[in-house]
Structure 1
Amino acid sequence: MKLEHLAALNAERAARRAAVLVTPLESGEQRLVKAAEVASDPLAEAIVERLRLGKSGVVETDSGGYFLTVQVPPVRLVVTGAVHISQALAPMARLLDLDITVIDPRTAFASPERFPDVRLLAQWPEEVLKEAPFDRYTAFAALTHDPKIDDPALVAALRSDAFYVGALGSRKTHAKRLERLRALGFSDADVARIKAPIGLPIGAVSPAEIALAVLGEVVAALRLDASRGHAS
């Protein structure tokens, strides 16, 4: 790998942007394709598919074979609410290689005893998100039922490229949530991004079942949306 390619890959990694190193199997003349450049690349379709999968591999085309070295940022799952669902969700998320962060300013809930080995921040979401804003490799789940905690994070998520935005609550609760967001200037198209009631419709009842439904919906959004990773 050329030094300029390595430097560029490191820069994209630091900025949490995807990139693919294309290596023709015959000539070995490599080129780096950044996320914003994918659409104009001759191998766009193959690169999009590899970015969707998040895996490197060989592709065969009419012009020959290529090895695509895929670099995608670690996928983050940000949750507001150190609640029972979050307690069940955290270990499941780790099994899926999701980098999970739980945010809740209520220290009675956000305790290391309740969330061992979890990145737990007993702060208000707006404080946390100033330092680590949402990006296209971030999923967000609002789980507190408390507008003072969930709403600021929802606002930040809707103003970002977060690939998934979900919120816990009944249809009545969600309707009130939408009223508040529209009052802040969000359009119907904006708020339609919110998956609510959160999670796949599997009839979940217990916290663990709801956590499973949420993660299923997150994975579906991650793997089934082929436009991710290369949109500008």
Structure 2
Amino acid sequence: MDRFDDIPEQALAWFREGRGAALATVVETWGSAPRRVGSQLAISGAGEIAGSVSGGCVEGAVVAEALDAIERGTSATLTFGVSDDDAFAVGLGCGGTIRVMVEPLGSVLSEALMAELVAARAAQEPVAVISGGDRPAEITREGFEARFRQDLSGFEADGRFVTIHNPPLRLIVVGAVHIAQALVPMARIAGYDVVIVDPRESFASAARFPGERLIDDWPDEALAALGIDARTAVVVLSHDPKIDDPALMAALRSEAYYIGALGSTRSRDKRAVRLGLLGASAEEIGRIHGPVGLDIGAATPAEIAVSTLAEMIAVLRGKSA
């Protein structure tokens, strides 16, 4: 997929163009800081940026420090908080504090390390970059199982910082209907790698979903081939039991973190009976979010897509949906 968060990729491209580059990473937050730990901002030697480390209030100060770090060839750590005069000067007045580590490419982050990171991200392999302290930055695929599982960057006991780079979250949409046409681009912006499954070629066509990955197999076969892990959401939208039910049975027997199905409460009750006859337990059926999406009064396909994506995110982040 074309990643929405192509921050390391952009930093490496700038460096290879001879323009210089640095990566700024949020390493600690307190209070209402707007970006989570591990968030990154790429800065070129010309002051261009990609990504963010805040809601926009400290990026100017981080860019200035990054330009100095690129020239010096050494890293720096910046702290912004409401109790600091510097924080007010850059506009961080929202009640939060953030700490940002700035690392130039070529010196602190080697070109070889960055190339390996970018290649791993392209191959959708989970990797961790370990930096800080007295040792050179390094990259690894092992040793941080809990961090990979929780998508959790942070400091280790030895004081070094681990930045987790997980593959994108996945969304499997079953039913290439009108709602899917709105949901797919929204999900891509939110960072999901999307696959559309529909055995009806007139629905799952390149004309309706240009540039998207389309699978015209029956859903149970398609989902088995794709594999569903704990970073996958499955949304069933065809409203046709011949398509929906096999997809839901496959999803219910998987580790999918979210399973949603289109339909009214009456349709939900009928679906529960059908799935029970297919062997699904009441506990498994209870995993289905249906009617799909948060109850925001959505009426149009685009609004239903918004409510669906919002519910997917709420479940992912452990909020009540």
**Structure 2-normalised TM-score?**
0.56
1:48/1:133 CA distance change after superposition, 3 Å: closer
1:33 equivalent to 2:143? Answer: yes
Residue of structure 2 equivalent to 1:210: 304
Residue of structure 2 equivalent to 1:51: 151
Shift of 1:81: 0.8
Shift of 1:70: 0.8
Secondary structure, aligned partner of 1:224: coil
Q: Distance in 2 between matches of 1:199 and 1:148?
A: 22
1:110 equivalent to 2:208? Answer: no
Corresponding letter in the other structure for 2:185: P
Deviations 1:43-75 (A, max 9, x none): xxxx489615xxx4x53x7x5523112132221
The answer to whether the 8 A contact 1:26-1:65 is kept is no
The answer to whether the 8 A contact 2:126-2:166 is kept is yes
1:126 equivalent to 2:226? Answer: no
Matches within 5 A, 1:191-202: 191-202=285-296
The answer to whether the 8 A contact 1:167-1:197 is kept is yes
Corresponding letter in the other structure for 2:177: V
1:97 equivalent to 2:191? Answer: yes
Runs of 4+ in 1 over 4 A off after TM superposition: 16-24, 26-31
Secondary structure, aligned partner of 1:70: strand
Corresponding letter in the other structure for 1:159: R
Larger radius of gyration: 2
Corresponding letter in the other structure for 1:33: G
Identity of aligned residues (%): 45
Corresponding letter in the other structure for 2:187: A
Secondary structure, aligned partner of 1:88: helix
1:180/1:19 CA distance change after superposition, 3 Å: farther
The answer to whether the 8 A contact 1:20-1:33 is kept is no
Corresponding letter in the other structure for 1:51: D
* Bigger fraction of residues in helix: 1
Shift of 1:19: 6.0
Q: Distance in 1 between matches of 2:232 and 2:243?
A: 18
Q: Distance in 2 between matches of 1:18 and 1:141?
A: 24
Match of 1:142 among 227, 236, 249: 236
Comparing 130-139 and 208-217, the one that deviates more: 130-139
The answer to whether the 8 A contact 1:21-1:68 is kept is yes
Q: Distance in 1 between matches of 2:310 and 2:210?
A: 23
Secondary structure, aligned partner of 2:161: strand
Secondary structure, aligned partner of 1:176: helix
Q: Distance in 1 between matches of 2:126 and 2:261?
A: 27
Residue of structure 1 equivalent to 2:45: none
1:184 equivalent to 2:294? Answer: no
The answer to whether the 8 A contact 1:201-1:213 is kept is yes
1:17/1:174 CA distance change after superposition, 3 Å: farther
1:220 equivalent to 2:220? Answer: no
- The alignment's C-alpha RMSD in Å is 3.1
Q: Distance in 1 between matches of 2:276 and 2:143?
A: 38
Secondary structure, aligned partner of 1:151: helix
Deviations 1:165-213 (A, max 9, x none): 0000011111111111122222221111110110011110000000000
The answer to whether the 8 A contact 1:102-1:120 is kept is yes
**How many residue pairs get matched?**
203
The answer to whether the 8 A contact 2:172-2:232 is kept is yes
Match of 1:79 among 173, 189, 204: 173
Q: Distance in 1 between matches of 2:206 and 2:135?
A: 54
Q: Which runs of 5+ in 1 are unaligned?
A: 39-46, 226-232
Corresponding letter in the other structure for 1:195: H
